[in-house]
Every structure is written in structure tokens, then in C-alpha cells.
């Protein structure tokens, strides 16, 4: 027996659910498989999103973001995502405060929101199911073969039961590294230094100094090649974590790094004296730009699976939503014979890749500077808060130069 659908979406995160909504509203049958037992749990994310103005600055070439991310007035997919985001907001952010390795402080404005990602993803999943999407949790793709112009996909449940799905198109929204991409022999092209292992905890009973300020800590002692973060969800709760490049993981156990940060960082440790935390969750995120293989035959990747994470700061939810939305639109057109899937690659390269490329170059620049604390500190001081803001927000180089020399 087969489950039959037009599109099989692998992964029920923001990119997969965005794609599913876009597809089903264009009249196609969608089946979503998710390896987790429950959508949205556990949360492996800081849950911080830039607001619409920040997104428009970040991704000016994506017209769909203005319609899809926060405003959606005509597009039903967008209306649903907007509603899910607004109902999941738990805090609003006004600034980012960055601490250098020597704990010098740089602060800049940032218009953002902190969401309950579990509630957000569950809301999107409910909307998709109400429209007719089929969602199977505790299910993993095991193998894929072609059969009479369709894909025959073998899926296995966490209890060991096997079944098959027959689909015309496959969308990999299963994070990084993507299991579907591995099965389809799609290459990402990264080296270890292009991947970051993140560890994060939800922590309560802490006293946040400024609940509307996200704190970032650049320190090779705690987060080699990455940074540590404190993202307030209220004045007593926060998401706290850090990322370490995979090239350093063997020498620096990441859970030890996180515990050391919580207990001994000169500034941050004072927040956590009476803290109560949940167990840490781990996640690998790509920081090397777009993967090499985004589309193969009738299979395409979205979100983290496609490398759509900003290399300099690790942000991925806006690009995940945008890529899922665009992928769903294009797959729907392809199913009707109007487009070729290569159009998806073209759209990504035009609209998102320039920003990812800038983020990658800024990341490489910071990598080189961080080998010398003295040089890094002097560079940060030279850039100042406005220059650092331009880099963290992945602004064009011309804007950085303008702020440095002409303001």
C-alpha cells in the first residue's frame, strides 16, 4: 500500500511548513513527514526573529518577503504565517549588545521579536492539516527510488514500521545535514570550518539586566569560531547557548564550554547564580553559504538543508520561511508544466545568495582577525557600534564604508 501525494515534504519546521502551505493553497496534495514525535519539540533555536524593517534591509531583493513574512494582505499563505508569528510572540527586542573577547561593549539598535517556536510551528502544522495536508510524525525517510515517473519513498516510523509514499516531487526541509540530501547524493560542499555545533538551554529564574536587549559574547575561550548568546524571553527567562566550529569540537567539548560560560564568564555568570535550566539541546548549523546541490531532478532543498543560514550571525528563520514559500510556489508551477525546477535555484541566487555571500566574507574576515585578540579588539574598536551593526546585520560593504568614513 502506498500513500500518494503530489509533493512529499520532509521536515515540519518553518521551511517545510511554509512550503506545505504554499503548495496546498495552489491545489496540490501534500504529505509531510517529521522525525520528531511532536512538531516543534524540542526547540533547537534561539527563537529570535528580525522584524519586517530589518528583513527588508537584509533581503531587499525578495519582494515576497514583504508580502509573506509579516504583512501579507492578499496571499493566504502569508496571512497564515503572519497570524502564527504574531500569536507566538513572547518578547520584543530593541537592541543587541555585543561583548568583545576583553568584554568591551558595543551596542546597536535592532528591531526584533522573540517567539515561542513550539507554538509557532504547531500553529502552522494545524493550519496545514486543516487545509488537507497529511502529517506523519515519528517518521524518517529511509530510501528513495524512481518508479514510472514518480518517486517511491520508503519511510520508517520510530517504532520500526515501514511504509511507502508515492510522490511527484520531494522537498528536503529536514535541517542540516539533510538526510534526504544524503539519500539523493546531493553534496553540500562544506569543510568542517563551515559548520557550527550549537548547544542551548532554556533557563529560568534568572535576572536579566535588560529584557529588551539580546547579548552576544565573542570569546574564543567559550565559543571558538562562534559566539555565545543570551536571548531574553522575559525578565526571568532566556534562551542561552553558544556555537563552536566543528573543526574545534574534538579539542573543546561543547557542553563543557556552555557550562563554563554559565558559571564563570565575568559578566554573564552573574545572571545564572540561582538559575534553573532544562537539559541542553544540540544542533549543527551551516555557515558556508548555499550548498552545492540545491536541486536534483525533482528534489529540492529549503531552509537549513539548502545552507540558507546567514554565516556571520547564524540566523535562519526568515530565509527558511522565504525559501519554503518560494519553493512551494515554483513546485506548484512545475506540477502544472509552467516552470522548471531550475527556476528555484535562479530565484535563490538572485534574491538570497548575495546576502549569504556577504555574510560569508564577513565571517571569513572575523575568522582571520580572531586569531589575534589584540588585533580583533582594535578592529572592533575601529568599526565601532555602527560598523559592527552593519556587519552583524550583513549590510553591503558600501554601507560599512559610508558609516566609517562619512558620518
User: pLDDT tens digits, residue range 348-395?
Assistant: 998 889 889 999 999 999 999 999 999 999 999 999 999 999 999 888
| Helix, coil or strand: residue 347 | helix
For the chain, percent of residues with pLDDT exceeding 70: 92
Average pLDDT value for residue range 47-61: 73
Least trusted range by pLDDT, from 4-8, 214-218, 276-280: 276-280
Closest CA to 110 of 359, 394, 393: 393
Most confident of 27-36, 51-60, 78-87, 315-324: 27-36
* pLDDT surpasses 60 at 224: yes
CA distance 405 to 407: 6
Calculate helix-pair angle for 117-130, 76-88, nearest 10 degrees.
150
> For position 147, what pLDDT does the model report?
87
Look at strands 134-136 and 150-157 and give their pairing: unpaired
Average pLDDT value for residue range 322-327: 91
> For position 367, what pLDDT does the model report?
94
Least trusted range by pLDDT, from 23-27, 86-90, 397-401: 397-401
> For position 107, what pLDDT does the model report?
97
Round the average pLDDT of the chain to a whole number and report it: 90
* DSSP secondary structure letter of residue 207: -
* pLDDT surpasses 50 at 70: no
> For position 309, what pLDDT does the model report?
95
* pLDDT surpasses 80 at 63: no
Least trusted range by pLDDT, from 64-73, 272-281, 282-291, 332-341: 64-73
> For position 253, what pLDDT does the model report?
86
* pLDDT surpasses 80 at 317: yes
For the chain, percent of residues with pLDDT exceeding 90: 73
Same fold, 2-92+112-190+288-356 and 192-285: no
C-alpha cell at 239: 534562551
> For position 164, what pLDDT does the model report?
94
> For position 11, what pLDDT does the model report?
97
* pLDDT surpasses 90 at 406: no
Label residue 344 by pLDDT band (50, 70, 90): very high
Where is pLDDT greater, at 72 or 214?
214
User: How would DSSP label each residue in 228-274?
Assistant: EEEEESSSSEEEEEEEEEGGGTTTS-HHHHHHHHHHH-TTGGGGGTT
> For position 43, what pLDDT does the model report?
84
pLDDT, tens digit, 9 for 90 and up, residues 10-47: 999 999 999 999 999 999 999 999 999 999 988 888 89
Closest CA to 339 of 159, 202, 169, 224: 169
Where do the domains of the chain lie? 2-92+112-190+288-356, 192-285
* pLDDT surpasses 60 at 71: no
CA distance 42 to 45: 9
| Helix, coil or strand: residue 169 | strand
Q: Domain 192-285: state its class.
A: alpha beta
pLDDT, tens digit, 9 for 90 and up, residues 145-192: 998 889 999 999 988 899 999 999 999 999 999 999 999 999 999 999
Sign of the alpha-carbon dihedral angle for 120, 110, 211, 219: positive
Q: What CATH number has the domain spanning 2-92+112-190+288-356? A: 3.50.50.60
Average pLDDT value for residue range 296-322: 94
What's the alpha-carbon Rg for the chain, to the nearest Å? Answer: 21
Average pLDDT value for residue range 84-100: 93
Q: What are the angstrom distances between the C-alpha of 123 and each of 31, 59, 127, 237, 380?
A: 17, 25, 6, 23, 41
Amino acid at each position: 500500500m502506498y500513500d500518494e501525494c503530489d509533493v512529499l515534504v520532509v521536515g515540519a519546521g518553518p521551511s517545510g511548513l511554509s512550503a506545505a502551505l504554499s503548495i496546498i493553497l495552489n491545489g496540490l496534495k501534500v504529505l509531510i513527514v517529521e522525525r520528531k514525535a511532536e512538531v516543534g519539540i524540542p526547540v533547537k533555536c534561539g527563537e529570535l526573529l528580525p522584524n519586517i524593517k530589518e528583513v527588508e534591509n537584509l533581503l531587499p531583493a525578495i519582494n515576497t518577503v514583504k508580502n509573506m513574512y509579516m504583512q501579507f494582505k492578499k496571499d493566504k499563505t502569508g496571512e497564515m504565517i503572519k497570524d502564527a508569528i504574531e500569536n507566538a510572540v513572547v518578547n520584543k527586542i530593541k537592541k543587541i549588545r555585543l561583548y568583545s573577547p576583553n568584554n568591551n561593549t558595543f551596542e546597536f539598535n535592532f528591531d526584533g521579536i522573540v517567539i515561542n517556536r513550539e507554538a509557532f510551528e504547531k500553529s502552522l502544522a494545524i493550519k496545514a492539516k486543516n487545509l488537507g495536508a497529511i502529517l506523519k510524525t515519528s517518521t524518517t525517510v529511509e530510501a528513495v527510488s524512481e518508479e514510472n515517473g514518480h518517486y517511491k519513498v520508503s519511510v520508517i516510523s520510530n517504532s520500526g514500521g515501514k511504509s511507502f509514499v508515492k510522490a511527484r516531487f520531494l522537498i528536503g526541509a529536514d535541517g542540516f545535514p539533510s538526510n534526504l540530501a544524503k539519500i539523493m547524493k546531493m553534496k553540500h560542499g562544506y569543510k568542517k570550518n563551515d559548520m557550527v555545533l550549537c548547544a542551548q538551554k532554556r533557563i529560568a529564574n534568572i535576572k536579566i539586566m535588560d529584557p529588551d536587549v539580546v547579548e552576544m559574547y565573542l570569546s574564543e575561550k567559550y565559543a571558538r569560531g562562534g559566539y555565545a548568546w543570551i536571548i531574553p524571553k522575559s525578565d526571568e527567562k532566556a534562551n542561552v547557548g553558544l556555537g563552536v566550529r566543528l573543526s574545534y569540537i574534538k579539542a573543546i567539548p561543547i557542553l563543557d564550554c556552555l557550562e563554563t560560560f554559565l558559571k564563570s564568564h565575568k559578566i554573564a555568570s552573574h545572571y545564572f547564580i540561582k538559575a534553573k535550566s532544562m537539559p541542553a539541546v544540540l544542533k549543527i548549523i551551516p555557515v558556508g553559504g548555499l550548498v552545492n546541490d540545491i536541486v536534483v531532478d525533482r528534489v529540492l532543498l529549503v531552509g537549513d538543508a539548502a545552507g540558507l543560514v546567514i554565516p556571520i550571525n547564524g540566523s535562519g528563520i526568515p530565509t527558511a520561511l522565504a525559501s519554503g514559500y518560494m519553493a512551494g510556489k515554483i513546485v506548484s508551477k512545475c506540477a502544472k508544466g509552467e516552470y522548471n525546477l531550475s527556476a528555484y535555484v535562479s530565484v535563490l541566487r538572485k534574491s538570497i545568495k548575495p546576502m549569504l555571500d556577504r555574510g560569508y566574507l564577513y565571517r571569513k574576515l572575523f575568522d582571520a582577525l580572531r586569531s589575534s585578540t589584540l588585533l580583533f579588539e582594535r578592529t572592533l574598536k575601529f568599526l565601532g557600534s555602527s560598523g559592527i551593526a552593519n556587519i552583524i546585520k550583513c549590510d553591503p560593504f558600501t554601507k560599512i564604508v559610508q558609516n566609517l568614513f562619512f558620518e
